[in-house]
Structure 1
Amino acid sequence: MDEIRGTAQGTAPVPLSVLDLVTVGAGTTATDALRTSVALSRLAEARGFHRYWVAEHHSMPGVASSSPAVILAHLAAHTDRIRLGSGGVMLPNHAPLVIAEQFGTLEAMAPGRIDLGLGRAPGTDGATAAALRRTDRPSSLDGLGGAPIHSGADDFPQQLAELTRFLDDDFPDGHPYARIHAVPGPVQATSPGGVQSPHRPPVWLLGSSGFSARLAGALGLPFAFAHHFSAQNTIPALDLYRDSFRPSEVLDAPYALIGVSALATDDEKEARRQVRAAALNMLRLRMGRPGLVPTPEEAEAYEFSPMEEEFIASWNSNVVHGTADEVRSGLNDLQKRTGADELMLTSNAHSGDVRLRSYELIADAYGLPAA
């Protein structure tokens, strides 16, 4: 359970973690963004952040995180202690066996450090989702009677059951998949007393509404809510998760993490410039014109319509931004309002240097260990 429940450090009320979208700014490349991710993961480890997750997105030029497992393998080679995971892998996009193989491999590379966060949304637009899922054909058999199922969000519980069976390598005798093994399988972990037992990455359910909240509670799994883009649903979803929770072998009490957009800069004015540029990028995405994250100068020169200004204001009202002290105060207030057990911070900005500086400032504000 320690792999799930972190320990708050410094003056942070709960553990602080990092969500990386591997954002690509205008005038930069995916290679630049991935180099920033390596630097950021090393910074997060050195400063005492609890875990570092990478999100799955597709067909978005400004988000270079289409392959979380590949990125996590790269980050595992550049870090030693911090937990690494997916925030998350979109389960309907993939065969459960493939995910079990990928994350079994990651667990073998970095034993005891890997989290498997799963979502049921496509992480992209409908056309790309269709290209990923090939929903015109049955994708697998269900976890019980072996009936064909199609890959899609509606089949998420069945896909989750199948994935869990592959991770645990425990399909019952007579099941069509009983002789199939996800290799590498569970890693043999050694306890302080010298006892060996199989260990595989803990599964988290991610969501932005009530479906995954209720399912995570019923299965006794940890739950991560996307407050950073669905703030109006945060408290209802967390209440539903806690009300639905049933103790399991994984958890004896609910554990809820929330993703939070947070950007700290050396002065408040600069923070407003940076988040306005990031909001313009989101506006373009919502308008069906995804692109690279614009510079603050481009956002300043952009002529926003009244409706677009309303969107920008609404979006940025859920971004905790300002000086380090202002961000710390905003995060503390949010944690009190939601009762979240962990805060996972995503700092979206055009420049990798701005993102790195933001996490440094937040770590300083909370008195996290020095690098």
Structure 2
Amino acid sequence: MKNIHLIVLSGLLVLAVTSFSAMALEQVETLTTKDGVDLKVENLTAGLNHPWGMAFLPDGRLLVTERNTGNLYILQTDNTLSEPLTGVPEVRTGGQGGLMDVALDPDFAENNMIYLSYAKPGEGGKAATALGRGVLAGAGIDSFEDIFVQKPYVDGSNHFGNRIEFSPDGRYLFLALGERFKFDPAQDLSNHLGTVIRIHADGSIPEDNPFVGRQDAEDEIWTYGHRNIEAVAFQPGTEILWVGEMGPSGGDELNIIEKGANYGWPVVSWGKHYDGRKIPEPPTRPEFKDALRRWTPVISPSGMAFYQGDMFPGWRNNMLIGGLTTKEVVRLVLDGSTVVDEERFSLPKRIRDVDVAPDGSIYVLTDHDEGNVWRISSTEQP
């Protein structure tokens, strides 16, 4: 059993389990939670080049994207990895861009449609975050087409965002978009940088979006003033959309997304600029929407899921967030829209995404040249 350290964060008790050898994870390691649950961590597959997003198919197989190559794979139920699927769009790789998130259509059982977000190459080396869809058929994707492309194309390799999330009723698709490390455009509604957009599954624009019809705004925008979001999920049984947003030097945020709201970046932040310059804190500008929770030092939130499985019944409706910088999974206990407790599970690699499998186990992707798919399960269950 690993050593356990108790620390205090924002007045809450937090459990951090010490890191263990990455080599040992080729077999099995055990972590113990603060409520006495023993967790088994298994390596299912290795050698992925910065895996970024995943989505479970109804039959238990797992779609996995590979950021740095633009490849999409299927992890079979016997944990063998398919050949790269055909029909994936051309991707601009490099830096933080590449092939990123993957999601199933709410009507996947009828239409076999999947969605991919990716860095779309443009003229002069510029790129834009794009979202497209196609039909999963055999060893490839048929009839892939873009349904949204972020405006404008810009240079640079940072802050592509993003995550794909459908509303609980399946009527709307939300896509988080980073501000591409351009700062001020996040306050300008005439572009998509630093926004969360809301569209229909075919890319059409809902008439009740907050800025529809304004000459100075893009119709797809739902919220703006964001820096870089890579963690998005709806809270079960509600219409509450949560996002984990990366701050600069400090000040990672947990936010609830509200129609038409401005979240303040880069005018305000709970962090500082990388060169040490101070940024006004959100309470100085009450017109901006403030975070419900913040982290300094940062966790670099990437990937988010609400636990709805049976393997850990005490965690039902808890929020799980991947931590890049801190190399951990963060579990948040909510009372409505209030975070009342936090627990952290330390791991030996950066965590890019987290999801809940059909059997109630937890899958994570590691963000490395030799990236992995890991499965976290109860030692009392297979």
* TM-score, length basis structure 1: 0.27
- Structure showing the higher strand proportion among its residues: 2
Q: Which has the higher helix share?
A: 1
Larger relative contact order (CA 8 Å, sep ≥ 6) = 1
